[in-house]
Amino acid sequence: MTIANLLPITPTALLIASSTVLLLILGKKFFNGGSCSITKDLTGKVVIVTGANTGIGKETARALAHLKATVILACRDAKRTEPLVLELQKETQNKNIEFIPLDLADLQSVKAFTEKFKSKYRRLDILVNNAGVMAPLQRRTTKDGFELQFGTNHLGHFYLTCLLLDLIKASGPSRIINVASKAQVHGKMNWEDLMYEKNYSPFATYAQSKLANVIFSKELQRRFDAEKANVKAVSVHPGAVRTELSRYLQENILLKIVYYVSLPVYYFMVKSAKQGAQTSLYCALEDQDKLKGGEYFADCKVTKVNPDGFREDYGEKLWKVSEELINKKTQ
């Protein structure tokens, strides 16, 4: 008896098989999201990408290096980043790739980074605030005592951006890209306890930090518009991406088992890091007059956002609170 006898190929079976394959292809295309097709010669342009030694940041830096930009990899881990500099220089034939240490969970490190950057560069065309942490199961704090997610995802990038604003504005047309998350949809600003010292929740805290990214981007744009500065600030959702961002969740043995059991579905529904970088790249490369400043992007287009993200009173309040928190630690 042959395989053909065991598995008779009937017209109905062929239809079911072909329909299944087609649905899988269309489904994967849907989950992969939009793609950036813009290419430009970025020779002479200076770019900073935080968290550029892995995941979305790495692919963002790689693509911009291929376009001949001067790319600064702003990362914590020298052992992982220094070899990447050599790898990217060789791959892209672009020698203008540099590593400058940056730990967003340490305000002194942020200040040291900007001082070193400014000692070497006189312009900044694109700032990609990409680095982040997600959902430590137990509450953790930064070196300065801030809750880790709010301190890293928002305050570290807020301080970095503010210290670089003079160069960014002087380099216009320029832009700031804050990598947020769809988690912002569920975010609420816990104004009475921003650091979640009471009733810590990993995901509520993460969602708050991502909502803060959106609020910060919108407030930046309001200020740029008021000053008539030629700068665009946007926030982006990269999509669900296979990166190291979920590493804290795997500290729980049950969640780790669930992760490995669901790997086939996970790989089908989740983007690669390269695919996850597409919206950041779109916002980095779109023509200045076409990029909608202050908006929230996903799959290379403007999309819906948590209404709190665009509240002007929240923008003013977050800016003021952020300055006060940082000033207490740095002055």
* Secondary-structure breakdown of the chain: helix, strand, coil percentages, each rounded to the nearest 5: 55, 15, 30
Q: Judge whether 242 and 225 are in contact, CB under 8 Å.
A: no
Q: Which residues are catalytically annotated?
A: 206
- How far is 172 from 217, CA to CA, in rounded Å? 17
CB atoms within 10 A of CB 76: 17
Q: Which residue has the tokens 């999309």?
A: 303
Q: What is the DSSP string of 45-93?
A: -EEEEETTTSHHHHHHHHHHHHTT-EEEEEES-HHHHHHHHHHHHHHHT
Tokens of 131: 């680095």
The CA distance from 230 to 19, in Å, is 50
Instruction: Please name which of 190, 199, 106, 104 lies closest in space to residue 145, comparing C-alpha atoms.
Output: 106
The DSSP secondary structure of 109-154, one letter per residue, reads: HHHHHHHHHHHH-S---EEEE-------SS--B-TTSSBHHIIIII
Residue in 107, 208, 223 with CA at minimum distance from that of residue 158: 107
Sequential DSSP letters for 229-291: -SEEEEEEE--SB-SGGGGGGGGSHHHHHHHHHTHHHHHHHSB-HHHHTHHHHHHHHS-TTTS
